[in-house]
Amino acid sequence: MTEKDIPFSPQEYARRISKTRQAMEQAGIDILFVTDPSNMAWLTAYDGWSFYVHQGVILRKDGDPIWWGRGMDGNGARRTVWMTEDNIRPYPDHFVQSTERHAMQHLGALLAELGGETARIGVEMENYYYSAKAHMTLEATLPRATLVDATGLVNWQRAIKSDEEIGFMRRAARIAETMIDGAIARARPGLRKNELVAAIYNDALTGVGDDWGDYPAIVPMCPSGADASAPHITWNGDQMQYDQCTFFELAGVYRRYHTPFCRTVWLGTPPDEVRHAEEALIEGLEAGLDAARAGNRACDIAEALGAALTKAGIERGARCGYPIGLSYPPDWGERTISLRSEDETVLEPGMTFHFMPGLWMSDWGLEITESILITDEGPAETFCNRPRQLFVKE
């Protein structure tokens, strides 16, 4: 077996576990069972596309975390996690997508073996891949234990990034810039959208220098014209056309760390309505960046943006951003803070967000966004450095 290539220092993982244990203690949790693939990777470095079957990481008050998953993925754990063999606990394959048994029966037995029979066990009830059935089966398997909702418990520990993490996101930002540059340069009437996305993937994965690109937690979006009125329509084989906008909603990814970045191109001459929206959006972005300071709150960013848009007669109705960092499909957000008027979370240095005030109108869309870092003082730093504008190709 070749040398393991663990992405972060042992100190970084120790810091993460220590923070998580503090949160467990506050929540009165003896054993935490983490299923969100991003949380699993954040704690243990586990990396593999195996989240379509039940798996997780077990964290107790003492000792290293335990990876639990499908037998065939045990080798993947051996090759990616920083823990030793004792802490890799695979289950037999007949538990996989069986109509007779459930993997949570195996997990329940393991948790009992680890002293969890009457413990308070934290489970991520609203995180990805923890199904309703998984929860009911675990409850039935451990009738004397108390299952406690630990949704987002680890996600919240991830909000403030370490210098090592910010370094990864800066690398991802260089990749994101290359992707946007390439997409705008290639955009032309007649280009098929699937070919455009192929070129975007090429830039995404080739990366920058030695920094190879990883897969994004969301595929590249680049809807055109009326499809751009919908934020999550994926590509097809249609050709780009004159007098249409196309937005690029992309992320550069370096070793699972995402730096999302969006820009929009208009082929032809944008109508006044679009130019008007662009102007308001840029004003709102700049006001939001200025409000994105340590000590301010999440809602201050949203309100600074909202004021500029309202003045221009635009009502968005949706949140305008979310925390970013380590992610697996289906989402590259961290699902904790939301940049919206009701969220009063205080911003702290090291927090990272995708400030994402996309405009999806009746038959066009405009996305100009920034991934940002809250700094010790002054306005937020943007990870990417490209003109904040609608790109027009006459």
Segment 144-173, which members bind a copy of itself (CB under 8 A)? 149, 151-152
Q: Which of 210, 315, 376, 394 binds a copy of itself (CB under 8 A)?
A: 210
Q: Which of 108, 116, 182, 213 binds a copy of itself (CB under 8 A)?
A: 213
239 lines the binding site for a copy of itself (CB under 8 A): no
Separation of alpha carbons 60 and 242, rounded Å: 59
The minimum distance between CB 379 and a copy of itself, in angstroms, equals 25
Cβ-based nearer residue to a copy of itself, 232 or 311: 232
**Interactions with a copy of itself, residue window 25-54 (CB under 8 A):** 47-52
268 lines the binding site for a copy of itself (CB under 8 A): no
The minimum distance between CB 252 and a copy of itself, in angstroms, equals 13
221 lines the binding site for a copy of itself (CB under 8 A): yes
242 lines the binding site for a copy of itself (CB under 8 A): no
**Interactions with a copy of itself, residue window 302-321 (CB under 8 A):** 317-319
Q: CB pairs under 8 A, 24+ apart, for 190-195?
A: 190/239, 190/240, 191/239, 191/240, 192/237, 192/238, 192/239, 192/240, 193/222, 193/224, 193/235, 193/236, 193/237, 193/238, 193/239, 193/240, 194/235, 194/236, 194/237
**Interactions with a copy of itself, residue window 119-148 (CB under 8 A):** 123, 125-136
218 lines the binding site for a copy of itself (CB under 8 A): yes
The minimum distance between CB 214 and a copy of itself, in angstroms, equals 7
Q: Which one, of 344, 339, 393, 336, lies nearest residue 369 by Cα?
A: 339
346 lines the binding site for a copy of itself (CB under 8 A): no
C-alpha 282, offset from chain centre: 24
Q: Which one, of 253, 235, 239, 228, lies nearest residue 390 by Cα?
A: 228
Q: Which of 140, 232, 242, 385 binds a copy of itself (CB under 8 A)?
A: 232
**Interactions with a copy of itself, residue window 56-115 (CB under 8 A):** 71-73, 75-76, 78-80, 92-94, 96-100, 102
**Interactions with a copy of itself, residue window 169-208 (CB under 8 A):** 192-195, 197-199, 201-202, 204-207
Give backbone dihedrals phi and psi of 70, rounded to 5 degrees, phi first.
Answer: -65, 145
| Degrees to nearest 5, angle at CA 149 with 145 and 154 | 115
Q: Which one, of 159, 172, 124, lies nearest residue 298 by Cα?
A: 159
Separation of alpha carbons 263 and 183, rounded Å: 9
